[in-house]
């Protein structure tokens, strides 16, 4: 049976009738929604979807929102939903998909990302965390850094070096790591805001079963590209309403506080308002392109724009508020589950936005991706491209 918008709307209404929002417990409702194929409609049947076109997800979401249905709190598990799930779907075995996707979507298991290392951030392929095969397991040793939400996570997507004798991009393998296993140590990294949503993670003789490997041994870099492309879309291409995000906060202050206005700030606010709207509409176009396949390097451009706009808008907000904008007294070493720009003050937004050009790929690296993979410009010389990882200077 082919699904169109009308049929999917009917299925959603029938689901709501069978699971009344007012009387069905939240987790039970979300679990039933997954089983009904209304979680990700473009995923296969039995895995939260109905093999329907991705664009029809908006039909389901609109019906559920109108009914006041609970969502799965996507900000709390952004890495799981935006990065891990698409990777598991594309490269996971049938058993892995059945094991991981439902509790991930429902929010029963939170995920984090063990990619970056102290010596392998922008040059991620130079990573040194080692995974050595021992029977049916892999023994992992190393250190990861800038791991958002590791302190709240059950699972992590992990890339590790399994063959040091080949060039750096070819000797990497991709795993799912249980963060509750012996040998996994999570330490907070206190940020410029005072809080610690980031972490460093130490892996000491961590035993990961080969059944938790995603993709073939040595193909981890290829698998990681799926994760990274989805990450950039998740960060830079989030669906927001018109005048949503930081520009809406500053625009509201402008309307409510006429005594703060100046001609110069007005011109800058209008310029940034237009750029924010262009970015929002570009994000809508990018999501339309995703209907036809997997995200590509275009997401790097969206993430670049997101970081630049957030930093410029938060800077404008400080100037608009003057001395009031410099007040920031919440230096508590908190361990939040989500980054809440809207619920904090201007000082927090200004400080936290500085990380937007680092997390999810630095702006410098993303500029290279746009130049080479979107614009087709000649790549930079890479003298280490064919050198075995073990022979690289570090």
Query: Which are the catalytic amino acids?
Result: 231
Residue 116 main-chain phi, psi, to 5 deg: -65, 150
H-type alpha helices, 157-297: 220-236, 246-256, 263-290
Handedness of CA 324, 304, 79, 285 (dihedral sign): positive
**Residues comprising the chain, all counted:** 394
Measure the CA–CA gap between 84 and 313, rounded to whole angstroms. Answer: 30
Measure the CA–CA gap between 166 and 388, rounded to whole angstroms. Answer: 4
Q: What is the dihedral of CA 370, 373, 377, 380, to 10 degrees?
A: 90
Handedness of CA 192, 196, 197, 200 (dihedral sign): positive
Taking alpha carbons only, the member of 174, 150, 148, 147 closest to residue 160 is: 174
């Amino acid at each position: 049976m082919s699904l169109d918008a009308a049929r999917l709307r009917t299925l959603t209404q029938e689901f709501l009738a069978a699971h009344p929002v007012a009387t069905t417990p939240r987790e039970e409702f979300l679990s039933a929604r997954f089983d009904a194929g209304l979680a990700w409609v473009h995923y296969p049947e039995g895995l939260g979807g109905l093999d329907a076109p991705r664009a029809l997800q908006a039909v389901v979401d609109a019906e559920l929102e109108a009914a006041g249905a609970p969502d799965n709190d996507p900000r709390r598990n952004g890495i799981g939903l935006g990065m891990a799930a698409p990777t598991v779907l594309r490269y996971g075995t049938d058993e892995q998909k059945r094991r991981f996707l439902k509790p991930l979507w429902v929010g029963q298991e939170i995920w984090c990302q063990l990619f970056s290392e102290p010596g392998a951030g922008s040059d991620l392929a130079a990573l040194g965390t080692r995974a050595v095969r021992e029977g049916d397991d892999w023994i992992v040793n190393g250190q990861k850094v800038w791991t958002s939400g590791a302190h709240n996570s059950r699972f992590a997507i992990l890339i590790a070096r399994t063959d040091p004798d080949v060039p750096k991009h070819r000797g990497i393998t991709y795993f799912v790591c249980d963060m509750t296993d012996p040998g996994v140590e999570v330490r907070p990294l206190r940020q410029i805001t005072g809080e610690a949503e980031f972490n460093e993670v130490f892996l000491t003789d961590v035993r990961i079963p080969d059944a938790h490997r995603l993709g073939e041994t040595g193909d981890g870099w290829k698998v990681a590209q799926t994760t990274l492309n989805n990450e950039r879309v998740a960060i830079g291409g989030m669906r927001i309403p018109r005048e949503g995000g930081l520009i809406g906060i500053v625009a509201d202050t402008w309307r409510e506080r006429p005594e703060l206005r100046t001609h110069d700030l007005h011109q800058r606010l209008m310029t940034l308002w237009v750029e924010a709207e262009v970015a929002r509409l570009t994000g809508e176009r990018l999501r339309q392109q995703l209907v036809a396949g997997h995200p590509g390097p275009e997401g790097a451009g969206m993430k670049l724009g997101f970081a630049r706009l957030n930093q410029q808008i938060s800077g404008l907000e400080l100037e608009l508020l003057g001395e009031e904008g410099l007040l920031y007294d919440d230096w508590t070493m908190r361990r939040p589950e989500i980054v809440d720009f809207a619920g904090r003050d201007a000082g927090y937004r200004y400080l936290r936005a500085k990380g937007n050009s680092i997390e999810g790929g630095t702006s410098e690296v993303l500029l290279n991706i746009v130049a080479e993979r979107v614009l087709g410009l000649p790549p930079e010389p890479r003298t280490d491209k064919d050198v075995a990882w073990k022979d690289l200077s570090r």
